[in-house]
Structure 1
């Protein structure tokens, strides 16, 4: 989800930007916004594709199976989190090129981490769940982009729900309840579905303050990372109860 700091002052979500009532200014703004959001979606989709390719190649090579049986698995599992912290925390310090490099590095290590799903679930169920997630993501993101409703009020609720899921997942590591796991999966899908719409609207509204600044290029990478995380988490939670096991 998008949680990076806006270097400019923000206007309320859902508010219409003031462009001095000029039709040419409105058209120019809309064109710039479309280019900005398209860049975010392109980076996000390319990142998901890269992760998927890496995951399949790593699993088919047999290295994923070897990784599970070695301590390296912990490094691979935690590496994506380190990249997320580096990108989010270094947004104001790093150059745009550095953020891009970190983003692609994150997508690669995320692919290594995701490779284990090919050892657990059938390829057909993974593909089916992926396309179902893609369709849901597209619809939710479109809703967040086009709706006039202010979604900012859902942010705190969604974050609280996300924290609750993390706590429940930690508890279930010791309990091992299948019922609790199913509940976590269902709630996870709902929360990241909400975050998809919420983050899309936030990214759209942030462009008003970022356009014309040097930060706009960095915002593309940060926005792509936010939507990537929404997509991947929704996919994993869906797969946990829709996927057919080997």
Structure 2
């Protein structure tokens, strides 16, 4: 009995590894699709002067800026929503972020945007690989990342009234560190959560939630990297 159990163990481990790789690939593919949607929408909006005036020259800009936050907080619940509903929410969020990012093409040169995107992509990939391969528990890093994100939010609200360039630099620096830490921790958590899935539907919902978290982290890192690297038109 014991030899049979031990002899089947490598097969179970191999199956687990293949399933985990497939699960992770699905998450990254979904996140990538979201980033591409955001990039295409922002590029289109940014090169359409009429749309820029309509969106950012009217109170509509507040709807565009706040709508993504509303979707994240109230319109994306993996515990209650189906995989199909989560997919629609994720696509809607990607489009709205694209609309809100349309203004960057009017502010920064295309070359500096491309460079910032490349740097943010490289940083994100390296940090996510670290989170996937490290044996160290990154729970503490996740806690610090959450505190850093809260700090960034508070400072950003204050800076709306202060309008300090120094504070903007601090916010961007802390933001890169916070969302970088969140990326590493979330990647590790994705591996751990895979083993706790109940069925394929649950695995799909988990992957949409993970894709959203990684998408938001990447978008934030790109935004803060662009703050330092962006060259204004």
- 1:70 aligns with 58
- 1:59·1:65 contact (CA, 8 Å) conserved in 2? no
Report the alpha carbon displacement of residue 214 of structure 1 after superposing the two structures with TM.
2.8
Q: Deviations over 1:84-137 (max 9, x none)?
A: 12344x222221111111111111111001111111111110010001111111
Report the alpha carbon displacement of residue 81 of structure 1 after superposing the two structures with TM.
0.9
- 2:21 aligns with 34
Report the alpha carbon displacement of residue 211 of structure 1 after superposing the two structures with TM.
5.5
The one of 145, 150, 159 equivalent to 1:163 is 150
Distance 1:157 1:165 in 2: 12
- 1:85 aligns with 73
Q: Please identify which structure carries the higher helix content.
A: 2
- 1:196·1:227 contact (CA, 8 Å) conserved in 2? yes
Distance 1:54 1:126 in 2: 15
Report the alpha carbon displacement of residue 68 of structure 1 after superposing the two structures with TM.
1.2
Q: Pairwise CA RMSD of aligned residues? A: 1.6
Structure 1 stretches lacking a partner, 5+ long: 1-18
Equivalences, count = 227
Please say which structure displays the higher CA radius of gyration: 2
- 1:52 aligns with 39
4+ residue runs over 3 A deviation: none
Q: Residues 21 and 189 (structure 1 numbering): CA distance in 2 closer, same or farther, change over 3 Å? A: farther
Q: Deviations over 1:198-244 (max 9, x none)?
A: 11001111101016353111111111000000100000011112110
- 1:14 aligns with none
Distance 2:180 2:8 in 1: 35
The alignment partner of 1:153 has SS state of: helix
- 1:145 aligns with 132
Report the alpha carbon displacement of residue 179 of structure 1 after superposing the two structures with TM.
1.0
Distance 1:65 1:199 in 2: 38
- 1:65·1:119 contact (CA, 8 Å) conserved in 2? no
The normalised TM-score by structure 1 is 0.88
- 1:221 aligns with 208
Distance 1:94 1:190 in 2: 31
The normalised TM-score by structure 2 is 0.93
- 2:65·2:100 contact (CA, 8 Å) conserved in 1? yes
- 1:65·1:116 contact (CA, 8 Å) conserved in 2? no
The alignment partner of 2:232 has SS state of: coil
The one of 175, 185, 202 equivalent to 2:162 is 175
